[in-house]
Amino acid sequence: MDTPLTDGQLALDVATLADLMADARPQAIGCATADAVEDREVSAGSLRRELRRERVARDLCAELNNFTQIEQTLAFIVLRVKELSSAETVAIRLERDGAYPYVAHTDHPAASGAPDCGCPDAGRNLIDCISEVVGSGEYDSSLEFFTPGGSFWCRSITALANSTAGARLLRGGARYSHRCDHESLALIPLSARGVRIGLLELQDRRLAMFDVELIEFLESLAHQIGLAIQNARAYSELEASMSQLRVLHGVLPICASCKRIRDDGRWKALEEFITQNSQADFTHGLCPECATQLYPEVYAQKAAGG
C-alpha cells in the first residue's frame, strides 16, 4: 500500500509540478508579467487542491473497509469529508419513515436546536424541509440548485429562502424566512444497491463556499459511502442478534422453586426474560396434567363418559 504524503511532501510536489507546467508553456524572453505570475499561483493552488482531494478520497475509500460499527463508520466519514471539503460543518442524515434526521455531525447547529424557517410545518427549519425534498427525489430537476446526479447545492440559503425558485423547490407559493447563520449548503444523496438511504450534508456560514466540481467529486464517493453505512448497519444488527443468542445459550441462573431467572441482578419471570432476549412471544394454556390437577371434577366426568 502506498504511504500517504505528508503536507510537506505534498507542498513540494505541487511546487515542482507547477514549475514543470510553467516551463512547458511557450514564453517570450524577458516578457514575464504580473498576470503570468498570478496564473501560475492559481494553477499551483488548483493543483494542490486536487491532489489533496485525491489523497483524502483514496484514504477514505481504503479505510472504510476497516469499520464494522455504524457509529465509528459515521464519525470517520464526516471527519474525512470535512477535511476534503474545508466545510465548517459536515453531517449525515439517514432516512427514517420519510424524514431525514441527523445521525452524525462534526458540530451541527441542530444539536442545540435549529431555528424555525417559517415553513408551514411549525417547529421545522428550512434545511430540514429541503433535505426531505432532496431525499424523496421528487423535485423539479430544472431548478438551478440540482446537478444531473441529484445533488442539491446553493451559495446562499438566505437568497434561496426569499426567492421564487425557493418557493418552487419547497412546493409552496409563499416566501420562506431563514434565520440560521449558515449560508452555503450542499446535500449529496447516499445510496446503497440502488436504494437511497440518506444524505451527506455540508454547511458553511460563508457565502459561495462550494462549487460544482466539489459536488461532483463528492457524488463520485457517495456510492462507496452508502455501501459502507449499509454494511455497518447490517453488521450491527447481526451482532445484536448474535448477542441475544449468546444470552439464551449461556448458563442461566434459575430459581429451583419459582423458576424465575436472574438477569443483571434482578429476578425475572421466565416469560419476561425470554420475551426481552428473543423474538419469541407467549400464549397461555394448560397441559393435560395441570388441567387434571386444577379441574379434577371435569376430568372425572370425561373419564366416566359424561
Average pLDDT over residues 234-254: 74
The secondary structure of 69-130 as a DSSP string is: SHHHHHHHHHHHHHHHH--SEEEEEE-BTTB--EEEESS-GGGG-PPP---SSTT--HHHHH
The Cα 60–Cα 38 span in angstroms is 33
Q: Average pLDDT over the chain, rounded to whole?
A: 76
Pair type for strands 152-154 and 184-192: antiparallel
Nearest CA among 36, 149, 133 for reference residue 93: 133
The secondary structure of 201-252 as a DSSP string is: EEEESSTT---HHHHHHHHHHHHHHHHHHHHHHHHHHHHHHHHHHHHHHS--
Q: Give the amino acid at 202.
A: L
Q: Which strands form 102-105's sheet, in the order they lie side by side?
A: 102-105, 89-94, 195-204, 184-192, 152-154
Q: Give the amino acid at 265.
A: G
Quick: pLDDT tens for 287-300: 888 888 888 887 77
Long-range contacts of 190-197 (CB under 8 A, 24+ apart): 190/92, 190/222, 190/225, 190/226, 190/229, 191/222, 191/223, 191/226, 192/223, 192/226, 192/227, 192/229, 192/230, 193/227, 193/230, 196/95, 196/135, 196/137, 197/94, 197/95, 197/226, 197/229, 197/230
The Cα 76–Cα 73 span in angstroms is 5
pTM greater than 0.85: no
What are the E-state strand segments in 241-290?
A: 261-263, 266-268
Percentage of residues in the chain with pLDDT exceeding 70? 73
pLDDT higher than 50, residue 109: no
pLDDT higher than 70, residue 244: no
Q: Please report which confidence band the pLDDT of residue 114 belongs to, taking 50, 70 and 90 as the band edges.
A: very low
Q: Which region holds residue 184: left if phi is over 0, alpha if psi is between -120 and 50, else beta?
A: beta
C-alpha radius of gyration, the chain, whole number: 30
Q: Give yes or no for a contact between 178 and 119, defined as CB atoms under 8 angstroms apart.
A: no
The Cα 90–Cα 80 span in angstroms is 9
Model pLDDT, residue 69: 74
Lowest mean pLDDT among 66-75, 118-127, 196-205, 265-274: 118-127
The Cα 102–Cα 209 span in angstroms is 22
Select the more confidently predicted residue: 28 or 139. Answer: 139
pLDDT higher than 60, residue 226: yes
Select the more confidently predicted residue: 47 or 103. Answer: 103
